[in-house]
Structure 1
Amino acid sequence: MQSEAWNGYRKPPSEQKYSEDVGHIHQGLNFEPTREELDSLSKACSRLWELDMNRIVPGKDYIIDCGEGKKVYQKGDMASESLFSWLGDDVLRKPTYSRFCALLDNYNPHQDKHEEIAFVEEIARTSPIKYLHRYLVQKGVVPQDYEDFKKMLTSLWFDLYGRGGNSSCSTAFEHVFVGEIKGPGQGESEVSGFHNWIQASSRVVNEI
């Protein structure tokens, strides 16, 4: 889905408008992980879920049709209808969702970098990412400075790496959210990655 609002995302990151910092909106919100959460990944994930005030709600924001299911050995798509039968009009207008969709368009390389930095800046204002930073600081695996953490996140997601015998041809973001065709000898007709519900809902969005 194209939106006129995305045109503003093509500006340099410093000239863009972002949502309010979640820390200023919810005074007293604590992003520091507890000892129990540091000792239990399951509890830390549950805390991340609780902090995600931007998540969409089934029945309210979307409706999915899971069909009748299929056996493990069945490889094809057994569903007769789209997974998403309905998606709320305002879902993809949410700042983080909208910036994510803008990243799926192919612009020039400089423009891509602008969008990558702006996307990380937007999500860095949300509760889950603030909590994630504090959690990883306590684990000693990321810098304590938040700006350095955002640079590290940008590098992890968007720096190029080699895949299928080719050098510097892929990124973690592309693999996870956009999907890739497997390389030579790996099943060239198969898609790898693509763990992205937004694109799965694209048919419904286009019909709206």
Structure 2
Amino acid sequence: MLAFLFFLLISSPVNQELSNIFNELWGLDVNRMNPGIDYTIAVQGRAGFVSQGSLVVQDHASLPLFSNVNEAKLGNMTTFSRLMKLLDNYERSTGITERVTTEEQTEISLFLDAVLETQVMKRAHQYLVSKGKSRSDLRLFKSQLSLIWFHLYHRQRNTGPDSCGFEHVFVGETRSGTEIIGFHNWVQFYLQEKNSQLDYKGYKAREHDLPDQDDHVLNLQFSWHGVLKPVGSAFIGTSPEFEMAIFTIIFLMNTERSTTVLVNIDQCQLELVVVRQGRCLGTAYPKLLSSNSRHVRGHAR
């Protein structure tokens, strides 16, 4: 039975339509940072298997993942600079009710305005309108994005609204003080690593595979505020508008609670996973399967 399920997994067909639109968006992503020019990463060693909640973990990366990032360029690009203003707006632990101030609501609105001005999100909007999944009115699309990504909901029972899709994916959360959930954004990873709040433990891959410093998707292991994430994954260098665009498309094109699509983007084959939380996003992340004929597998949540 397990062998049959594995066969189904590896034989899943590539979604060519989504691959086509996502490659269009990739080509339009002029804000994407360039590896070796705008940032430098050191993938170092392959992280070992550890279970969730482990306290003692062998570190297979003595250096940070990011050895350099062009912060001047990062700060000069509107979507990145407005993204970074949102990263300190949330309670790290689930179970603590989120309070959104007027200033924070303004920051969200300005971020969405910047995202909507990019060619990436304009093309994504056009595609969704053509599929009957969005209205052509930009104000309505902005409201749609706000609901999907920023509407607060209960991730933990018996509390007030304590989470949203944006917090989970772009900021990261902890649960019960022993588990990292979400946290799939490279900018947050870099900033937390720079501030000594995050420790990169190594890449996650099969033994004969080695990720490349030019890869735009990594499966990795890290600890954050002393809590371990055994396997995580994130795009590297991509703009926030690109990530929001592809995951919004998958979210709106499917009604299942959990959706996994197999796509080819640039030179990578990826699984893109989106989980719904009612009308909002629960989680969304990429999993690198292969790049330039390499095969890498991991599991994130």
Q: 2:64 aligns with which of 66, 82, 103?
A: 82
Paired amino acid for 2:31:
N
Separation (CA, whole Å) in 2 of partners of 1:161 and 1:189: 21
TM-score after normalising by structure 2: 0.51
State the alpha-carbon separation in 2 of the partners of residues 95 and 146 from structure 1: 19
Deviation string 1:49-83 (CA, Å, 9 cap, x unpaired) is 00111110001100001012224x24645211111
- 1:92 CA displacement: 2.2
Q: What is the percentage of aligned positions where both structures have the same residue? A: 39
Counterpart CA distance in 2 for 1:89 and 1:139 is: 38
- The correspondence of residues 60-75 of structure 1 with structure 2, limited to 5 A, is 60-71=37-48, 73-74=49-50
Q: Which has the higher helix share?
A: 1
CA RMSD of aligned residues (A): 2.2
Please give the alpha-carbon distance, in whole angstroms, between the structure 2 residues aligned to 1:53 and 1:80: 33
SS in 1 for 2:154: strand
* Structure with the higher strand share, 1 or 2: 2
1:111 aligned to which of 90, 97, 103 = 103
Task: Please tell me the residue identity of whatever aligns with 1:121.
Answer: D
**Cα 1:135–1:84 shift into 2, 3 Å:** same
Counterpart residue number, 1:4: none
5+ unaligned residues in a row in structure 2: which ranges? 1-14, 52-56, 91-99, 197-301
1:164 paired residue number: 156
1:85·1:204 contact (CA, 8 Å) conserved in 2?
Answer: no
Q: How far apart are the structure 2 equivalents of 1:39 and 1:85? A: 36
Q: Which amino acid in the other structure matches residue 131 of structure 1?
A: R
Unmatched 5+ stretches in structure 1: 1-37
Query: What are the Cα deviations for residues 61-108 of structure 1, in whole angstroms up to 9, with x where unaligned?
Result: 00001012224x246452111110011132321111110001113396
Instruction: Give the whole-Å Cα distance in 1 for the aligned partners of 2:129 and 2:21.
Output: 14
What amino acid is aligned across from residue 172 of structure 2 in structure 1?
G
- Structure 2 counterpart of 1:56: 33
Instruction: Within 5 Å, give how 1:21-40 maps onto structure 2.
Output: 40=17
How many aligned positions are there?
Answer: 165
Contact 2:156–2:162 (8 Å) recurs in 1: no
Equivalent residue number for residue 229 of structure 2: none
SS of residue in 1 equivalent to 2:60? coil
Structure 1 residue ranges, 4+ long, deviating more than 2 angstroms after superposition: 74-78, 105-108, 203-207
Using the alignment, how far apart are the partners of 1:59 and 1:39 within structure 2? Answer: 30
Give the distance between the partners of 1:174 and 1:89, measured in 2 at CA.
Answer: 22
Correspondence list, 1:148-163, <5 A: 148-163=140-155
**Alignment correspondent of 1:181:** 174
How far, CA to CA, are the matches of 2:47 and 2:35 in structure 1?
A: 22
Q: 2:21 aligns with which of 44, 49, 68?
A: 44
Residue 23 of structure 2 aligns to which amino acid in structure 1? S
Residue 23 of structure 1: aligned partner? none
- Cα offset for 1:167? 4.4
Code of the aligned partner of 1:148 = L
Change in 2 beyond 3 A, CA 1:203/1:170: closer
1:139 paired to 2:131 = yes
| d(CA) in 2 for partners of 1:40, 1:141 | 15
TM-score, scaled relative to structure 1: 0.72
